[in-house]
Structure 1
Amino acid sequence: MEGMREIEAMGEPALTPETERLRGRPGSPDDRRSVWKLIALQSFVAVFALVTMSMYFGSIPNYYSKLVSVCITNGCGNSVPAMPLPIDGLSLTTYAVLFVLIDVGFTLAFYFCSAVMLWKGFREPVGLLAALAMVAFGTSFPSLAIVASGDSGFAHHWFLIVAMLGWISISLFFFVFPNGRFVPGWSRLFFAAIALVAVTNVFYGGSMWQSLHVHVLIQLLWYVSSTAVLIYSQIYRFRHVSSPAERQQTKWGVYGVSIGFIGFSGMSLLFDPRFHDGTALTYVYLNALLNLALTAIPVTLAMAVMRRRLWDIDPLVKRTLVYAALTVSVVLLYTCAVLYLGPLFQSGNGFFVSLLATAVVSVAFAPLKEWLQRHINRLMKGRHDEPYEVLLELGNQLIRPLPPDAMLDAVVRTVKSALRLPYTGIAIGVGGHETVVASDGEPVDDPLAFPIIHRGEEVGTLYAASRSPGEAFSSEDGKLLDVLLRQAGPIVENVKMTLGMKLLVQDLQESREKLVLAREEERRQIRNNLHDDLAPRLAALALNAATAQKYVAKEPAAAIEMLADLRQVIRSTVEEIRMLVHDLRPPTLDELGLVGAIQIRIDELNKPALTVAGERRADSLLIRLDAPSSLPAMPAAVEVAVYRIVTESLANVVKHAQATSCTVRLDISPAKEKELLIEITDNGSGIPTLSPASGSTGGIGLGSIRERAAELGGQCAIERTEQGGTRVSAILPL
């Protein structure tokens, strides 16, 4: 069932926004007016098509009679020139039948496509307009209607109106196709001019240019300019307005019109009497080829209007260009060969010269076709058919002594030129952020991203813009990209390592600067403490000692009192010196070691939980230490960092956690013996969840813990446990 729905959907016409709205039940007055307008348009197209078809088919016998009696032998004005019959050729009636069949076959092709449009798109304004254009143009373009209707009467005037509607409707169709709007807006003015010329031509009996004696160059300029505006309108719509589906429709429409226009232009030149013998047989061939070229218009337009999911037209366009160019090349080559070999062989044997020219064309055919195919593929899609040549060119660039970033520039240039893309760029992760390190072309808003994989890891991303907005990459493009990205993987990894080393050097330089600044700041603080506090105290002690010395002999009691005060000052000074030294490095680390210093701090925090009888209260905090009996020797900076991390974490537990149990665990990593594992876990209320949008990382204590771990190249994590407590874990290299 799904497959049947898909097939039915593929056969439905593309809906305009107006029709999508009308598909619902009309409720507002505007909707009802739109429905009535659509009904009026449907009725007009149906009546016009029936009347025109009936009159056209009714004119066939009269056209045949005039061909036999007048037109073939003497001509019928501009519509049918005089055509002498070839000697020993077909009869006059046979030629008349052939001309009738050619014209009727051309018109039937337009009628058939128009009928399909009316059947499938009877509720689509664009489909109705296309059907009207096909009926009118298919009727008026052949000479049958004008010749058969004569120079007067209702049929003659009716077919003049049909010709007028043909030019107006087909011009309007190309101005508004495929979404029903004039794009750009000024194109409606040019359409008004086209409609005015077509209407005026009716009042002059279809010969306005001759009646007004307009020069042929001005006529040519008018037709060329009107055609150019139609083409520009579609190109502008394709580049700036159309959606991807509408672009595919436009491709089919423009393809058919291009085939018809090129065929009409080329065959019109061949209709010049200077290029042929003017016999009836020649005109049969010329008319057949001209009508066959113009038949591409209704076929492609019917597909563009009716089929929503169109086939990819690019391969068809490429083949058309290849074989058209090949045909022209073969004709030119054959002509040049005959013109060159004819005077060369003065034998008068034309067959021998033709045979030699044919041999030259046969030998050159295959390489010429391959050369044209390769260059047209490059023109339309790039060089995805030549992966080895592209890789060879890229390799020739990479073997030169280039820095890694220049190699990436070569890669993006190669991808851009090989696939004819407007923009390519390569981005890699640097310092936790994606950075574009090489690009070529103007950046676009939404490029396609292709990962660059090397050794099973994604080392970068290639960003590539589509050839046109909304156009997807073909499978051939994907294969060439895959090949090129495989070559780019090692280069990207090399660049990534180089940039990483540069960042490491930069971080090392910044760390050294921070270290020097921190050392000097610490020295200045110690100097200020010694100079502003300790030095005056020591100077005062010296003065007090000297004063007490003077009073020893005179007033011993006063001297004893002064010495007692001096002893208190000395004790407080010594205590301040101890505090200053303790700030530099806790003395318990030197006296008891890391485990002993932490145990002393834990014992101090456990004492308030004991009662007078030495028993522990039920709701009090119990802190335990789990550490190996001995730890390896470690740098003084690591000991201080571990001690500060543990003591700060315990302070947070005591102040904020409301916990009854806390465990401090120290261990050496079993996988890496040069790493110390630190873990402080409690069963308290847990750390509050921080919103990433707030940008907060916790209080000063938590920030200090992270900074101490980072200063030594370690890692720190502060998280909430499943039971609701908090776990502070850190890994420090020894």
Structure 2
Amino acid sequence: MWASLQWLVLSFCVITMVTYIASIPQYYTSMVTTCILHGCGTSVPALTMPAQGLTLENYALLLVLIDCAFTFVYYVTSAAMLWKGFREPMGLLAAAAMVAFGTTFPSLAIVASEGHFLAQQWFMLVSMLGWISLSLFFFLFPDGRFVPKWTRSVFLIILAVDVLQFLYRGQVWSRFDVPEFISLLWYIGSTMILIYSQVYRFRKVSRPTQRQQTKWVVYGVSIGFAGFVGMSILFDPTFNDGSAAAFVYLNAILNLLLTAIPVTLMLAILRTRLWNIDPLVNRTLVYAALSVCVILLYSIIVLYLSQVFQTRDNFLVSLLATAMVAVVFAPLKEWLQRQINRLMNGRHDDPYSVLLELGNQLIRPLAPEAMLDAVVRTVKDALRLPYTGISIGVGGQQKMVAAAGEPVNEVHSFPVIHRGEEIGTLYVSSRSPGEAFTPEDGKFLDVLLRQAGPIVENVNMTLGMKLLAKDLQESREKLVLAREEERRQIRNNLHDDLAPRLAALALNAATAQKYVEKDPEAAVDMLTDLRQVIRSTVSEIRTLVHDLRPPTLDELGLTGAIEERIRELSKPAELLAAEQGNEPLRIRLHAPLPLPELPAAVEVAAFRIVVESVVNVIKHAGATSCMVRLDLPSAYKLTVEITDDGNADGIWTAASVSGKGGIGQQSIRERAAELGGYCTIERLEHGGTRVFAVFPL
């Protein structure tokens, strides 16, 4: 089936080409004998021959060459598509469309086939197939699907109209008395639907490579359509003198503009080295606008000066008009180029004026976050982007601090670097799906990001200060809560434990007082019991005070308190080693003397960590040596290190079982963290455990 379709298309193209080439002599003869002087229907109007200039035969030859050159371009592109895309459905469809349209659009085929029934019917059939295949191609290109789906119904309407044109020999509009403006609206509307389907596919469906193909197709069709409409207006007798020379010029320009369709179509179908079309579109718009402006300006100047000098066809008037146009040509071209650039890509070609406008916004009293809002809005508006945003690192996490628009397309990131450090990231969205940023865009962003660096750093510092202020407020709240919790605990201890004991002492003293006279011996026994209760109460008070802060810290200082505690712990360690027949544990303390005055909280935390670590070594490590080291590496930091040569597994196992009891690894770390320091507990390579804590002073 597919092979049959391939050979059918190839046969159609060959037969059409041979028939067209065979009709060229007849076309030349018709032009010389009839068409130029008397006209040939709607194909060639009757033309006037200038008194001086080319002969009738020369004009006929020029018209034949123009039509043949036009058809030759279509045939060459069709042959290239058949050669490279013979196995692809879109390639076959495009080749057939190019052969059919390139054959029947010029007047050659229609004029040469007059009086030859078979040739005329064949060219009418080719014309119908040309419009149908061309419309079908633009609805299906590049993936072979109707997008959007309702275009399938539009194609069926186009198909029906083209079939009726074939059946009524191209006179369907006159047969049904359809006004000319209705037929014109039909041609314009159907062409616009073809272009819309490609634009819709480009924006909603196509992949990046397909989008580049679509750009070429839409560009070629737009050039051909605009040229066809504009030249059709100029073909009207009211806009030209009806001479053969004018007809030759207009026909040549029209055919030249329509050759943009097969050339761009071939580039899109073959896809080999699919060049970027944006610069070409840019230049086309600039020179098209420049040509229109120059023509209008020249015409206005000539008309005005003709009225002033009350003359027409004056050489001086033409000379003055030409001089004025020449003076304004360069500034006008530069202004048009700048406007087209801004229309397509924004103001990337003028970054310094954008920076000036941004600076005028930033000199106003704005909050740092509002400054970044101004930056992202400036980038978005200057480059005509759908989305821009800036994120910075706050508290170890990336936070989007300013954004404008919605990221509808691919988002690209650019680092914001200041003083050699990346302090943020600029995110920008492509203008259209799959569109890359140009080198001019990159230069613009580079210049702008250099100026945005200090602003981002200022915002970063501001947000960091706010975060620190928030942390400080939370710390204050936690401190107040901890202080009140500690006060409540002390109050409960005093109320529930110490107060009843004191009340009992008072009651026992009153009872003993009564027995002094009646039974002195009983009073003595009561006073003895009272003395024991008093001693026990004093011990309880000392324990309570010791829980708040070890008294030895106030009496002996941190070093002395640790030495005293080490002496107390060494005795049971020696007894335990003697019972087990092991080598006794030697605990040594190394500390600079004298230690400077330390904050009370640091002294308590260091003392607790040392005592708990040493107790853990005695109970679980089975060590023979333990070193406690206090050091001041700077005036703002105290380090505490406890190392042993015992069994590290015993410590880790006991710690995991005991949880908060005993040493409690989590408790040790929390004591250091509460004061803004840190504590690590690690196994040593040669055996043993190392507890290392750092306290800021």
What is the TM-score of this pair, normalised by structure 1? 0.88
Looking at structure 2, the residues matched to 687 and 225 of structure 1 have their Cα atoms a distance apart, in angstroms, of 87
The range that moved more, 101-110 or 611-620, is 611-620
Is 1:708 the counterpart of 2:635? The answer is no
Q: Any gaps of 5 or more consecutive residues in structure 2?
A: 654-659
* Partner amino acid, structure 1, of 2:262: P
Looking at structure 1, the residues matched to 4 and 650 of structure 2 have their Cα atoms a distance apart, in angstroms, of 76
Contact kept, 8 Å, 1:253 with 1:304, in 2: the verdict is: yes
State the shift of 1:573 in Å: 1.9
C-alpha change, 1:718 and 1:610, in structure 2 (3 Å) is: closer
1:389 maps to which residue?
353
State the shift of 1:543 in Å: 0.7
State the shift of 1:399 in Å: 2.3
Contact kept, 8 Å, 2:410 with 2:430, in 1: the verdict is: no
Looking at structure 2, the residues matched to 723 and 63 of structure 1 have their Cα atoms a distance apart, in angstroms, of 105
Looking at structure 2, the residues matched to 317 and 510 of structure 1 have their Cα atoms a distance apart, in angstroms, of 60
Looking at structure 1, the residues matched to 298 and 470 of structure 2 have their Cα atoms a distance apart, in angstroms, of 71
Superposed, which structure 2 residues align to 1:482-493 within 5 Å? Answer: 482-493=446-457
Is 1:730 the counterpart of 2:690? The answer is no
State the shift of 1:330 in Å: 0.2
* Partner amino acid, structure 2, of 1:96: A
State the shift of 1:153 in Å: 2.2
* Partner amino acid, structure 2, of 1:667: D
2:560 maps to which residue?
596
Of the three residues 640, 646, 652, the one matched with 1:678 is 640
Q: Any gaps of 5 or more consecutive residues in structure 1?
A: 1-35, 690-696
State the shift of 1:717 in Å: 4.3
C-alpha change, 1:322 and 1:215, in structure 2 (3 Å) is: same
2:297 maps to which residue?
333
Looking at structure 1, the residues matched to 159 and 611 of structure 2 have their Cα atoms a distance apart, in angstroms, of 92
Looking at structure 2, the residues matched to 700 and 289 of structure 1 have their Cα atoms a distance apart, in angstroms, of 96
Looking at structure 1, the residues matched to 10 and 187 of structure 2 have their Cα atoms a distance apart, in angstroms, of 30
Looking at structure 1, the residues matched to 91 and 687 of structure 2 have their Cα atoms a distance apart, in angstroms, of 69
Looking at structure 1, the residues matched to 409 and 623 of structure 2 have their Cα atoms a distance apart, in angstroms, of 54
Looking at structure 2, the residues matched to 263 and 720 of structure 1 have their Cα atoms a distance apart, in angstroms, of 84
State the shift of 1:274 in Å: 0.7
Contact kept, 8 Å, 1:611 with 1:617, in 2: the verdict is: no
Superposed, which structure 2 residues align to 1:310-389 within 5 Å? Answer: 310-347=274-311, 350-389=314-353
Contact kept, 8 Å, 2:410 with 2:433, in 1: the verdict is: no
Is 1:197 the counterpart of 2:161? The answer is yes
Question: Structure 1 vs Structure 2: percent identity of aligned residues?
Answer: 69
Superposed, which structure 2 residues align to 1:217-232 within 5 Å? Answer: 217-232=181-196
1:243 maps to which residue?
207
State the shift of 1:504 in Å: 2.0
C-alpha change, 1:296 and 1:641, in structure 2 (3 Å) is: same
1:693 maps to which residue?
none
State the shift of 1:673 in Å: 2.2
Is 1:539 the counterpart of 2:497? The answer is no
Of the three residues 131, 145, 165, the one matched with 1:167 is 131
1:59 maps to which residue?
23
State the shift of 1:72 in Å: 1.6
Give a deviation string over 1:111-135, Cα, whole Å, max 9, x none.
1111111111222222222112111
Contact kept, 8 Å, 1:609 with 1:617, in 2: the verdict is: no
Looking at structure 1, the residues matched to 110 and 584 of structure 2 have their Cα atoms a distance apart, in angstroms, of 112
The range that moved more, 322-331 or 275-284, is 275-284
SS of residue in 2 equivalent to 1:83: coil
Looking at structure 2, the residues matched to 62 and 613 of structure 1 have their Cα atoms a distance apart, in angstroms, of 127
State the shift of 1:540 in Å: 0.9
* Partner amino acid, structure 1, of 2:549: R
C-alpha change, 1:727 and 1:116, in structure 2 (3 Å) is: farther
State the shift of 1:380 in Å: 0.6
Give a deviation string over 1:498-551, Cα, whole Å, max 9, x none.
222222222222222222222122111111111121101110111122222323
The range that moved more, 484-493 or 639-648, is 639-648
Of the three residues 266, 290, 297, the one matched with 2:254 is 290
* Partner amino acid, structure 1, of 2:433: P
* Partner amino acid, structure 2, of 1:593: G
Contact kept, 8 Å, 1:245 with 1:309, in 2: the verdict is: no
SS of residue in 2 equivalent to 1:458: strand
C-alpha change, 1:55 and 1:382, in structure 2 (3 Å) is: same
* Partner amino acid, structure 2, of 1:640: V
Looking at structure 1, the residues matched to 365 and 628 of structure 2 have their Cα atoms a distance apart, in angstroms, of 57
Contact kept, 8 Å, 2:612 with 2:663, in 1: the verdict is: no
Looking at structure 2, the residues matched to 605 and 445 of structure 1 have their Cα atoms a distance apart, in angstroms, of 71
State the shift of 1:721 in Å: 5.7
Looking at structure 2, the residues matched to 519 and 599 of structure 1 have their Cα atoms a distance apart, in angstroms, of 30
Give a deviation string over 1:377-412, Cα, whole Å, max 9, x none.
111111111122112212222223333222222211
Of the three residues 570, 573, 576, the one matched with 2:537 is 573
* Partner amino acid, structure 1, of 2:227: G
Contact kept, 8 Å, 2:387 with 2:403, in 1: the verdict is: yes
C-alpha change, 1:605 and 1:262, in structure 2 (3 Å) is: farther
Looking at structure 1, the residues matched to 182 and 515 of structure 2 have their Cα atoms a distance apart, in angstroms, of 131
Contact kept, 8 Å, 2:351 with 2:444, in 1: the verdict is: yes
The range that moved more, 602-611 or 398-407, is 602-611
1:630 maps to which residue?
594
State the shift of 1:704 in Å: 3.4
C-alpha change, 1:96 and 1:498, in structure 2 (3 Å) is: same
State the shift of 1:335 in Å: 0.3
Contact kept, 8 Å, 1:130 with 1:170, in 2: the verdict is: yes
The range that moved more, 640-649 or 141-150, is 640-649
SS of residue in 1 equivalent to 2:398: strand
Contact kept, 8 Å, 1:326 with 1:372, in 2: the verdict is: yes
Looking at structure 2, the residues matched to 482 and 344 of structure 1 have their Cα atoms a distance apart, in angstroms, of 54
Contact kept, 8 Å, 1:98 with 1:284, in 2: the verdict is: yes
C-alpha change, 1:438 and 1:551, in structure 2 (3 Å) is: same
The range that moved more, 81-90 or 355-364, is 81-90
Looking at structure 1, the residues matched to 60 and 230 of structure 2 have their Cα atoms a distance apart, in angstroms, of 25
State the shift of 1:715 in Å: 3.7
Is 1:668 the counterpart of 2:656? The answer is no
Contact kept, 8 Å, 2:578 with 2:584, in 1: the verdict is: no
SS of residue in 2 equivalent to 1:139: helix
Give a deviation string over 1:711-733, Cα, whole Å, max 9, x none.
32334445566668665433222
2:363 maps to which residue?
399
1:515 maps to which residue?
479
2:657 maps to which residue?
none
SS of residue in 1 equivalent to 2:640: strand
1:268 maps to which residue?
232
* Partner amino acid, structure 2, of 1:674: Y
Contact kept, 8 Å, 1:687 with 1:720, in 2: the verdict is: no
* Partner amino acid, structure 2, of 1:673: A
C-alpha change, 1:722 and 1:416, in structure 2 (3 Å) is: farther
Looking at structure 1, the residues matched to 682 and 269 of structure 2 have their Cα atoms a distance apart, in angstroms, of 62
C-alpha change, 1:224 and 1:617, in structure 2 (3 Å) is: farther
Superposed, which structure 2 residues align to 1:23-62 within 5 Å? Answer: 36-37=1-2, 39-62=3-26
* Partner amino acid, structure 2, of 1:241: V
Is 1:437 the counterpart of 2:401? The answer is yes
State the shift of 1:587 in Å: 2.1
Contact kept, 8 Å, 1:172 with 1:191, in 2: the verdict is: yes
* Partner amino acid, structure 2, of 1:712: L
Give a deviation string over 1:316-374, Cα, whole Å, max 9, x none.
11111111000000000000000100011135561110000001101110111111011
* Partner amino acid, structure 2, of 1:733: P
Looking at structure 2, the residues matched to 652 and 128 of structure 1 have their Cα atoms a distance apart, in angstroms, of 87
SS of residue in 2 equivalent to 1:610: helix
Of the three residues 632, 638, 642, the one matched with 2:606 is 642
* Partner amino acid, structure 2, of 1:517: L
Q: Calculate the aligned-residue CA RMSD, in Å.
A: 2.8
What is the TM-score of this pair, normalised by structure 2? 0.93
* Partner amino acid, structure 2, of 1:202: F
